[in-house]
């Protein structure tokens, strides 16, 4: 096992499942913030082929777009085989402007987790203040890992890992899924708003993007609170 796999394998000791959550696009000037959740099952670590495929998983920022796409395809195959599960969700630019980026990121993460939970059987998200299963129910024990620092006002018990996308397989897999999906959406937005170069910089505040903003002003997919210094 590589270090990311070994980390999650050790976290699974005494538990039924491990959940990793990460986001993409938090620091962008435009477009949604996208979050993904990855549920890793113990059987994955008993499958040689699965270990080989997930051995390529890493922090999405350290991977090329081509590598992320190939790994994401591998992850979807593993999901079809039942060794892990993936769900992706987002918060819109309007929600970012309304809730601020931290609130919108929490919302996107919660949506991804709840989407995953709605598809699963025999397990439930670890809710704050709920110590165990309800009478007559058998609910699997789940450890939820979140990249970064602890989330305030989040309804689920979780463990925060700073730079977790370089430490945990589940978090890194979620980060890749979120990044691939968000990049895909930004390429679509580039066709709708061709003046900004979204397909190139994916909404980040590059020189090309800032110059386009000064030349054309913001489009509906720009986060207004992020543009004050650039447009002032």
pLDDT, position 136: 42
pLDDT, position 121: 74
pLDDT, position 134: 47
The strand order across the sheet containing 33-40 reads 84-91, 33-40, 17-24, 142-147, 159-161
Q: Confidence band (pLDDT; 50, 70, 90) for 139?
A: low
Q: What average pLDDT does this structure show over 162-188?
A: 97
pLDDT, position 131: 54
pLDDT, position 128: 76
Percent of the chain with pLDDT strictly greater than 70 = 95
This prediction's pTM:
0.93
Instruction: Give per-residue pLDDT as tens, 44-72.
Output: 999 999 999 999 999 999 999 999 999 99
Q: Which residues of 122-136 are buried (b: 16+ CB within 10 A; e: fewer)?
A: ebbbbeeeeeeeeee
CB neighbours of residue 65 within 10 Å: 12
Q: What average pLDDT does this structure show over 133-154?
A: 77
Instruction: Give per-residue pLDDT as tens, 74-133.
Output: 999 999 999 999 999 999 999 999 999 999 999 999 999 999 999 877 788 888 765 554
Does pLDDT of 228 surpass 90? no
pLDDT, position 186: 98
Q: % helix / strand / coil in the chain, to the nearest 5?
A: 50, 15, 35
- In this structure, what token pair is assigned to residue 208? 């090309």
pLDDT, position 14: 87
Q: Confidence band (pLDDT; 50, 70, 90) for 135?
A: very low
Q: Confidence band (pLDDT; 50, 70, 90) for 215?
A: very high
pLDDT, position 56: 96
Instruction: Give per-residue pLDDT as tens, 182-200.
Output: 999 999 999 999 999 999 9
The phi and psi torsions of 180 (rounded to 5 degrees) equal -65, -45
Q: Which helix (H) or strand (E) holds 174?
A: helix 169-192
> What domains sit in the chain, N to C, each tagged with a CATH number?
3-191 (3.30.420.10)
pLDDT, position 204: 96
Nearest of 143, 148, 86, 152 to residue 115 by alpha carbon: 86
Average pLDDT of the residues of the chain? 92
pLDDT, position 132: 53
């Amino acid at each position: 096992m590589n270090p990311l796999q070994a980390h999650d394998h050790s976290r699974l000791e005494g538990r039924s499942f491990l959940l990793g959550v990460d986001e993409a696009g938090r620091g962008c000037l435009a477009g949604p913030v996208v979050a993904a959740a990855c549920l890793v099952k113990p059987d994955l670590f008993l499958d040689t082929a699965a270990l080989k495929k997930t051995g390529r998983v890493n922090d999405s920022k350290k991977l090329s777009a081509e590598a992320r796409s190939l790994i994401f395809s591998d992850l979807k195959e593993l999901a079809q085989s039942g060794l892990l599960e993936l769900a992706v969700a987002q918060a819109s630019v309007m929600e970012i402007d309304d809730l601020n980026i931290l609130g919108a990121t929490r919302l996107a993460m919660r949506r991804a987790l709840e989407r995953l939970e709605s598809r699963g059987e025999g397990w439930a998200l670890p809710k704050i203040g709920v110590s165990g299963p309800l009478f007559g129910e058998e609910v699997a024990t789940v450890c939820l890992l979140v990249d970064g620092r602890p989330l305030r006002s989040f309804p689920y018990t979780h463990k925060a890992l700073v730079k977790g996308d370089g430490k945990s397989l589940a978090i890194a897999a979620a980060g890749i899924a979120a990044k691939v999906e968000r990049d895909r959406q930004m390429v679509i937005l580039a066709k709708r708003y061709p003046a900004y170069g979204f397909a190139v910089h994916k909404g980040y505040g590059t020189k090309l993007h800032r110059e386009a903003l000064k030349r054309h002003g913001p489009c509906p997919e720009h986060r207004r609170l992020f543009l004050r210094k650039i447009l002032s």
